[in-house]
Amino acid sequence: DAGVTQSPTHLIKTRGQQVTLRCSPKSGHDTVSWYQQALGQGPQFIFQYYEEEERQRGNFPDRFSGHQFPNYSSELNVNALLLGDSALYLCASSHGTGIIEAFFGQGTRLTVV
């Protein structure tokens, strides 16, 4: 059973560009969340998708947007990249609602130059 898979693994972009990161949840999972982990820090919640809708959002600007597809996979889009957007972006999935643990992918390392 494949866990949470993310692509690409690494990415280098130029300031001002746009980027799209992709995530396939663990089999049987229907909820996907995205986190940003800056170097030396804990992950910070960006937003969460369930039933193809954004359900909750963290303290991130509108430059960060996302989408969930009918097969539960998800994309994270970041526009007008800033140097400060350089980080490890983690996707997490789970099934259903309630107080449950999440399963995380290996992340996409984004470097903005």
> Where on the chain is the footprint of other proteins (CB under 8 A)?
4, 31, 33, 40-45, 48, 50, 55-56, 58, 90, 92, 94, 97-107
CB 63 to other proteins: min, Å: 19
**Three-state SS at 83:** helix
CB 59 to other proteins: min, Å: 10
On whether the CB atoms of residues 102 and 1 are closer than 8 A, the answer is: no
Of the pair 79, 106, the CB lying nearest other proteins is at 106
Of the pair 17, 27, the CB lying nearest other proteins is at 27
CB 91 to other proteins: min, Å: 8
Of the pair 26, 78, the CB lying nearest other proteins is at 26
On whether the CB atoms of residues 68 and 52 are closer than 8 A, the answer is: yes
Partner residues linked to 23 by β-bridges: 6, 74
Which residue is listed with tokens 């996302």? 66
Separation CA 89–CA 87 (nearest Å):
6
Query: What distance lies between CA 48 and its chain's CA centroid?
Result: 9
CB 62 to other proteins: min, Å: 18
Of the pair 16, 28, the CB lying nearest other proteins is at 28
